[in-house]
Amino acid sequence: MVMKNSSIRCKIEPTDIDNYGHLNNAAFPKYFDRGRYDLAVQNGLDRDTLVPKGLAFLVRKASYDYIAPVLENQEVEIISNLISIEGTRAIVEQEMLRDKGVVSKCRAEYFFQNLTTGKPIRPPSSILP
């Protein structure tokens, strides 16, 4: 299975800056979510593709490592990789870069849900990349 990776650029929004002039730790997930959304679209795992098939692709858990500060008016790159899809779950790993250096990392576990039953489901082979 060939999975497409994603790379997007994001300008840090002034409303996400804390009192110290840094990107607030609570705002990091917002930027990683933008990367995950692009990754989902690249691989046909987005809402527009899945909902008509009665499926959802949802976050089960995510963890973040904060390595270096990000400042107001900076631009970051979010690199997202769909590492694997096994059974009902998928693993996504991401890096946030500034000036080619990693400032944060995210690892998230997603699952596929049958929207009719509300239960986890293995994705049909027709939607797998």
pLDDT, tens only, 21-61? 999 999 999 999 999 999 999 988 899 989 999 999 999 99
Which whole number is the average pLDDT over 118-127?
85
Percentage of the chain beyond pLDDT 90 is 78
Q: Cα-atom radius of gyration of the chain, to the nearest Å? A: 16
Instruction: Please give the pLDDT value at position 65.
Output: 97
Residue pointed to by tokens 């904060």: 66
Which whole number is the average pLDDT over 62-79?
95
pTM above 0.85, yes or no: yes
Fold (topology level) of 6-127 = Thiol Ester Dehydrase; Chain A (3.10.129)
97 has pLDDT over 80: yes
